[in-house]
């Protein structure tokens, strides 16, 4: 039986009910976080909490909870060894639909659940991802992790229809990010290039550790936007996210990256990342 968290209670999935007048449903007036679980341990929980609280602050949603305790309980209650924990907070329930916010003392809706997923032994790590590029038509505050994911979902389905794995979105021919991942390339002279942190991209938690591991491997890192042509001419390309960790990209718009196989640096970064998070999980056990 799958156990979820809703507003202070741990209940069976079938018993979790949210009002039809919840602002998360009516306006996507909500934020969320997703945390990796490896060997039964939450990965980078502190950074995820920091980002969740920043997102709440940017939208002036007041919500207080012991986020790590909620996540740990869900892992235990669901016997989760590998997968994800999602935390979601909306502004709460209104009496009727109204663009204006409800009273400041309106309780938020806090919902969380665990989900099994293969992370470490994902077979895509051996083959690499193929992506398309499409215009980034999302709103201008991509740095806030909101539940406004319709355009990302549309792009995911466009990738599926085209027989590839995902989409890298672009503004003025510069790559911003994937539909649910940060995008990176490694130039032919061994420089890792990753879009700078600004309102165009989500400040990825996995991105932080990924760049640290790349530097430890001796790679220079430039945080700046890169063009589609620059990406196609790169020696390697990859993404980072809580759901895919570090994953090679071997094709962009039908153009092979490097020799069309996962790159050596990307492989080493993934291995180093996995080693680092597994060491961290052991020290917090």
> What is the β-pairing status of strands 255-256 and 220-223?
unpaired
Rounded Cα distance, 253 and 167, in Å: 9
145 counts as catalytic: yes
Beta strands in 43-165 (DSSP E): 83-90, 109-116, 129-135
Residue-level length of the chain: 285
Q: Which long-range contacts (CB under 8 A, 24 or more apart) does 250-253 make?
A: 250/127, 250/128, 250/129, 250/130, 251/128, 251/129, 251/130, 251/131, 251/164, 252/130, 252/131, 252/132, 252/133, 252/168, 252/228, 253/131, 253/132, 253/133, 253/228
Asked if 205 and 269 count as a contact pair (C-beta separation under 8 A), the reply is no
Query: Residue 41's closest CA among 111, 119, 110?
Result: 119
> For tokens 């938690």, what's the residue?
205
Catalytic option among 145, 215, 256, 261: 145
Which residues are known to be catalytic?
145
């Amino acid at each position: 039986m799958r156990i979820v968290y809703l507003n202070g209670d741990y209940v069976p999935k079938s018993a979790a009910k949210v009002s039809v007048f919840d602002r998360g449903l009516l306006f996507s007036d909500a934020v969320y976080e997703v945390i990796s679980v490896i060997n039964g341990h939450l990965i980078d929980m502190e950074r995820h909490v920091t980002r969740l609280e920043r997102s709440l602050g940017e939208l002036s949603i007041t919500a207080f909870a012991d986020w790590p305790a909620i996540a740990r309980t869900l892992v235990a209650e669901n016997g989760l060894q590998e997968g994800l924990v999602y935390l979601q907070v909306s502004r709460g329930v209104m009496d009727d639909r109204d663009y204006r916010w409800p009273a400041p003392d309106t309780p938020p809706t806090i919902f969380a659940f665990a989900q099994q997923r293969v992370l470490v032994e994902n077979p895509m790590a051996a083959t690499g991802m193929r992506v398309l590029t499409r215009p980034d038509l999302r709103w201008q505050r991509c740095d806030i992790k909101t539940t406004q994911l319709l355009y990302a979902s549309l792009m995911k389905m466009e990738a599926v229809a085209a027989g590839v794995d995902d989409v890298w979105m672009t503004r003025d021919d510069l790559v911003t990010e994937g539909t649910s991942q940060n995008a990176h390339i490694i130039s032919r002279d061994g420089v890792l290039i990753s879009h700078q942190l600004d309102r165009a991209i989500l400040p990825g938690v996995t991105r932080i550790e990924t760049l640290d591991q790349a530097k430890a491997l001796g790679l220079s890192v430039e945080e700046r936007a890169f063009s589609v042509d620059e990406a196609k001419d790169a020696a390697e390309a990859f993404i980072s996210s809580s759901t895919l960790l570090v994953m090679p990209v071997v094709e962009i718009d039908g153009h092979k990256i490097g020799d069309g196989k996962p790159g050596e640096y990307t492989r080493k970064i993934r291995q180093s990342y996995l080693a680092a998070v597994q060491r961290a999980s052991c020290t917090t056990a």
